[in-house]
Structures are given as structure tokens and as C-alpha cells.
Structure 1
Amino acid sequence: MARTKNPRTRALLVERAAQMLARREPVTLRALVAGTEVSTMAVYTYFDGIDGLWRAVRQEGFTRLAAELATVRTGPDPVRDLAALGAGYLANAVANPDLYRAMFDVTAELEDAPAAGATLGLLIAAAARAREAGRFAADTDPEATALRMWVIGHGLASLVATGPLPDAALAHGEPLLTALFVAAGDEPARCSRSVARGWRSRRPG
């Protein structure tokens, strides 16, 4: 009879691998399970080997990001919603710095690439709603706006969660998003109020 897999064991191995990557330690099977009650065979049981483990580590980062962004409730103000999504992105990176680093390690494939891509889809949908509501110009490309948001978020996250800047630097995200949305066509004063509300709802750091 096949043994029942324990999701906590799988999560433990993913977390340990991400932490070792962050410390730039060589991830060997023995080092991965050292100090735990898990055997090296668990890597094959749960991931079919080390390559599968790396895929799971990357996927877990996107899974947690998706869970964070899913908590942003859609309201009547799409610009506020976009700002909340941007703040949520940064909050997730700060809360999960080890997994955040691993998310963008393209040497490993993803277990479910479409699921990871769905996180960007949430930003695109919100940007499309802002255009439909007349907040953004009619010729605004929602995908381009979402990609620019991602660039802003990734830059700040990399410098704070995985780099040299203090958490206080995350506050730059609010004026950067305001400038982006004004460039997309939103009215400056109204945009500033909407972004402030969204940012406060998920204030990172």
C-alpha cells in the first residue's frame, strides 16, 4: 500500500530549499533534511528528485503571491484596486523573501506556468476596468500598464526584500504608481486619492 503523503513535509522541504538558496548554501539531499525527521528519500517521494523540488520552490512563490493578491476585493474604484494589488505584491515579497528570490530563478521550470501567469492577469484585468471606467485613456494598453506595475514592484522588492534598502523605501511605490496611472490618463488629484486608499489597505513593510 502506498504511503499517504503529508503536505506539511512537502512544505517543509520547499521552505528549507528556499532558505538555503537565499543563504547561497549548496542544496544537497543530506543538507536539506539535516536536523529534521525527514529522510532524503522524501525528495523523490514528493518531488521525483531535486529538479522537481526546484520547480516546486518557484511555484510556491507564485502560489503565495496569488493568495495575497486574491485578498484584494474588487470595488467601484479600479485605480484604488490597482494600487492595492501593487502594495500586496510588495507585502508578499517582504513576507516571503526566500521564496521571492526563487520565483525568478529561470534555471528551474515551473510546475504550473499558467497558474503563475495568472498573477499578472489580475493586474491586467484591473487596468482594463480602469480604462473601461474612463479613468485611463481609451488607447491605454492594460497589459502594458500591468507590466510596468510589475517592473516597479519587482524593482522595489528586489532592493528591499532581497537587497540593500530598508523597508521604508517601499513607500516610494505609492508615488511611482500614481505617476504611472496619471501617465495612463487618470486625473492627478483623483488618482492620488485612489492610490493612497489602495496603498493603505495593503501597506507593505
Structure 2
Amino acid sequence: MLAAREPVTLRALVEGTGASTMAVYTHFGGMPGLWSAVRQEGFTRLAARLAAVPRTDDAVHDLAALGVAYARTALEHPELYRAMFDAGADLADEAAADASFDRLVAAAARARDEGRLAPGADPRTLATQVWAAGHGLVSLVVQGVLPAEVLAPLATGTTVALLAAAGDDIDRCRASVEAAWAAG
């Protein structure tokens, strides 16, 4: 139903399954609980995908590789991606959802600590900027506003601009970010 963008109602959800509407109440406490579980599943899958990104000796590559993994997750499951960011439903485990962002912050801190970014670069601010830019681009692709083939070049240019502004050498940064997209 999410993939077809059909309205998800309790009755439509159980239609044809042989289950009763009571099953949704029994397992999820009702539709709000179901939506919470759907959102949580999206963040759980994203966290697993980000955790699988291998660490290399290039901190900027690794920061960009997290963005690539984020984009791939969204493109492979656009319906779940859209549901993840429906703030109208609570999350069952907000800390688990935050863990994905914390991984991005840690990668930005590593890039700063290893000298790729300026000593004063704030990892949380930089991670927020990288995430917001990437999320915007991915959302435009998932919604069909931009074609998928422009994602990598636009994300590369945006990431390079942000990281170069944070102190990285632009040519070295571009090489790291392009390598992350090529590997992803």
C-alpha cells in the first residue's frame, strides 16, 4: 500500500489477509502503533546499512560513504523512506533512530581529528549540513522531481563544497567523495 501510495486505513490494511482489524490492535495498539513500527523499521534498516559501511584510512571517504549508503537505502525502499520522515507518528525507540545520525557525527569528528577539516570544525554542525543537503537531494529523487542519475553528481558537488568550506583541500576532497560514490 505504501509503494502504491494508496491510503492506509485499518480496514484496507487487513482486507484480503484473513486477519481481523483486532490484530492491528493486538500487535500494535492500533494504527498509531503500526505507523510507529513502520517508521522504526525504516530507521532500523538504515542503521544496519550504515553500520555495514567499512572504515578505510580516508576519513572523508568514509563520511561520504555514509551518505552513499543513506541514498542507496532510500532509493531501494522509497516507500519506507517516505514513512520514516512522517513526523506525525512517534518512534518507538528514538535513540536507535538517532544512532544513524550519531554515526555521521562521529565520521565528521574523525575527519576533523585526522586533519582533513579545520580544527575548529564542529562535527555536529557539519553532520547536520551534510545530512540536510543529502536528505533534500534524495527526497527530490524519491519524489520523482529529479531523475536518479543526477543524484551522485549533485551529492558529490554539494558534499565537496561543504567539506572544503570546513577546511578540506578541494581536490583531495573531491577524490575522496568521488571514490565513495564509485564504491557505493
Task: Tell me the TM-score normalised to structure 1 length.
Answer: 0.85
How far residue 24 of structure 1 moved from its aligned partner, in angstroms, is: 4.8
After superposition, residues 58-97 of structure 1 pair within 5 angstroms as 58-97=39-78
Structure 2: distance between partners of 1:84 and 1:37: 43
> Which residue matches 1:98?
79
Gaps of 5+ in 2: none
Counterpart check, 1:40 vs 2:21: yes
Which residue is equivalent to 1:150? 131
Q: TM-score, normalised by structure 2?
A: 0.94
Describe the superposition over 1:133-188 as per-residue Cα deviations: whole angstroms up to 9, x where unpaired.
Answer: 00000000000110011111111111101232111121211111111111111111
* Corresponding residue of 2:150: 169
Q: Give 1:39 shift.
A: 2.9
Answer yes or no: is the 8 Å Cα contact 1:156–1:169 preserved in 2. Answer: no
Root-mean-square deviation (CA), in Å? Answer: 1.4
Supply the distance in 1 between the matched residues of 2:118 and 2:157 (Cα, whole angstroms).
20
TM alignment of 1:187-202, pairs within 5 A = 187-202=169-184
Where does the alignment leave 5 or more consecutive residues of structure 1 unmatched? Answer: 1-15
Render the CA deviation track for 1:22-43: whole Å, top value 9, x for unaligned: x151x22220022324332221
Identity among equivalent pairs (%) = 54
Letter in 2 for 1:50: M
Match of 2:167 among 182, 185, 194: 185
